[in-house]
A = this chain, B = another copy of it.
């Protein structure tokens, strides 16, 4: 078991100085050809690789991105990670992953753990509890320390940083319009509580689309599900939806804000003897495995998670590499970098069997 070799050892072995080794390996022409060759050969033989930690300390940057998400066992979030990892790797960065598990405290702990030099910047999506508390001081704190943040999907406007979001509003309009066009007259909405921003936006889109088609929204046709931090109560969910359907038997179209609600709605509908899509059409937000493999397969609004990840990573790395140059130009605190971008990823409707 030979530990990794260092510059110092090479230097001692070859009887030159550390600086000479370093320069020779980087191909500096300060060093004679003879010496360079000798050193490079030796280094290759012993498979020398510069120590990342030492480089990080010296360069004051780690070439590592911190990802902080509420949950990883989740199709959407894992596609986002895949996107981030893809471009991060391509651009020479690593990714370190933290899970908040939807908890405010874990979010803070994780941020503090990573913000002390381990990473160059954050890509994150806010936990539900944080959204509920509306306490965002930890985000501002890290930003003030000079560590850039990119937020995706679950974002808040008050934080000054780059953002990548899905056009929840427009996506919902598209979905509801499609239901209308395909003949649904009484379109129900199955959504979450309002504090999750995306839920609210999708609800707004639903209402807007109805009004645009001169349909008066009926509050009885809106089911708000309280998934308060737990979403393992499959039975409860089914029952709730079943009651909802039973007390509104004119429903012939459903727009659900996520695929679980949509698939469950289909299940319940079938149980009630309704045929899909003939009696009732269903569209869900968030295109995941469930939608694709359900029977009938589900028409969805795809969020392009991977693209969200890619854009987030590009945004962050662009900013990091920009800062490199201007870090000394703009000591002027005020007018620097107030050009934060918000990228909107267009949604796309993927038609499958649950619509006509």
Contact = CB atoms under 8 A, between A and B. Distances in A.
Interface of A: 1-4, 49-54, 56-57, 62, 64, 72-75, 78-79, 81-82, 85, 89, 94-99, 110, 112-118, 144-146, 234, 260, 263-264, 266-267, 270, 288-290, 292-295, 333
Given A74-B78, A85-B97, A95-B97, A116 B3 contact: no
A293 B270 contact: no
Nearest to A110: B89
Contacts of A89: 98-99, 110
Given A94-B98, A294-B294, A116 B49 contact: yes
11 contacts: A53-B62, A53-B117, A73-B78, A78-B78, A82-B99, A89-B98, A94-B98, A96-B96, A97-B97, A290-B290, A295-B295
Contact of A270 (B99, B113, B295): B295
A289 B1 CA distance: 43
Contact of A293 (B97, B98, B260): B260
Q: Which 4 A-B pairs have the closest CB atoms?
A: A51-B117, A52-B117, A53-B117, A96-B96
Contacts of A78: 72-74, 78
A3 B146 CA distance: 6
B264 A4 contact: no
A350 B117 CA distance: 45
B112 A49 contact: yes
A317 to B, nearest CB: 16
A57 B95 CA distance: 20
A85 B81 CA distance: 15
Count of this chain's copies in the oligomeric assembly: 2
A75 B289 CA distance: 10
A64 B110 CA distance: 13
Contacts of A82: 72-73, 99
Contact of A75 (B64, B73, B114): B73
Contacts of A96: 64, 94-97
A302 B130 CA distance: 33
Nearest to A79: B73
Given A78-B72, A116-B49, A260-B293, A146 B97 contact: no
Contacts of A51: 116-117
Given A78-B74, A99-B82, A118 B94 contact: yes
Contacts of A74: 78
A298 to B, nearest CB: 11
Contacts of A292: 234
B64 A53 contact: no
Contacts of A146: 1-4
Contacts of A79: 73
A285 to B, nearest CB: 16
Nearest to A113: B94
A116 B50 contact: yes
Contacts of A144: 1-2
B81 A72 contact: yes
